[in-house]
């Protein structure tokens, strides 16, 4: 992997202060294209009564990965709304990857989508979110 960009380093540092993501064992991983993605291996504590990933875990992954996509644009955001379509259940021990993408980069709001897939590319869920811009992650010098 290439050297991390300054923004990727800031985003990883930012998410290591997110106690909920640390608790959930989600990991922010830089990508070759300068973005970041969120990765998680489904463990017993992530499952529902049926032994598959709880929908709330997938929503958390999508929300966090979408927020990370906004951070790549140097904007700190909070969620206004997030909708998700679940295509397949995610079995225990599956390593999932959530990749957010900014569709609208506005001054006050941002719109994103996020896909959650495994390493083979199987699509498990897709979200669409609207976020309110709080400010910049890194102030211009």
pLDDT class for 18, splitting at 50, 70, 90?
Answer: confident
Whether the Cβ atoms of residue 102 and residue 124 lie closer than 8 Å to each other? no
| pLDDT 10s digits, 74-99 | 999 999 999 999 999 999 999 999 99
pLDDT score, position 3: 85
Supply the pLDDT for residue 129.
Answer: 98
% the chain with pLDDT above 90: 72
Q: Among 75, 69, 126, 71, which residue's Cα sits nearest to residue 101? A: 69
Model pLDDT for residues 29-83, shown as the tens digit of each residue: 988 888 889 999 999 999 999 999 999 999 999 999 999 999 999 999 999 999 9
User: What is residue 132's predicted lDDT score, i.e. its pLDDT?
Assistant: 98
The 10 Å Cβ neighbour count of residue 141 is 3
Which is the CATH superfamily of the domain at 6-136? Hotdog Thioesterase (3.10.129.10)
Indicate left, alpha or beta for 6 from its phi (over 0: left) and psi (-120 to 50: alpha): alpha
Q: What is the pLDDT of residue 2?
A: 67
pLDDT of residue 1: 56
115 has a pLDDT exceeding 70 = yes
Which residues is 79 bridged to in the sheet? 131
Q: How far apart are CA 68 and CA 57, in angstroms?
A: 16
- The residues spanned by each domain of the chain are 6-136
- Please name which of 117, 119, 112 lies closest in space to residue 133, comparing C-alpha atoms: 112
């Amino acid at each position: 992997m290439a050297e991390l960009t300054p923004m990727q380093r800031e985003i990883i540092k930012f998410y290591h202060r997110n106690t909920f993501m640390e608790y959930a064992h989600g990991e922010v991983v830089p990508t070759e294209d300068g973005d970041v993605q969120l990765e998680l291996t489904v463990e017993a504590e992530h499952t529902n009564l049926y032994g598959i990933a709880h929908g709330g875990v997938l929503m958390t992954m999508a929300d966090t990965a979408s927020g990370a996509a906004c951070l790549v644009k140097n904007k700190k955001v909070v969620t206004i709304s997030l909708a998700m379509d679940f295509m397949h259940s995610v079995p225990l021990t599956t390593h999932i990857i959530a990749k957010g993408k900014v569709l609208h980069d506005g001054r006050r709001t941002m719109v994103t989508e996020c896909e959650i897939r495994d390493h083979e590319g199987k699509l498990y869920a897709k979200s669409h979110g609207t976020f309110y811009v709080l400010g910049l992650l890194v102030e211009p010098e």
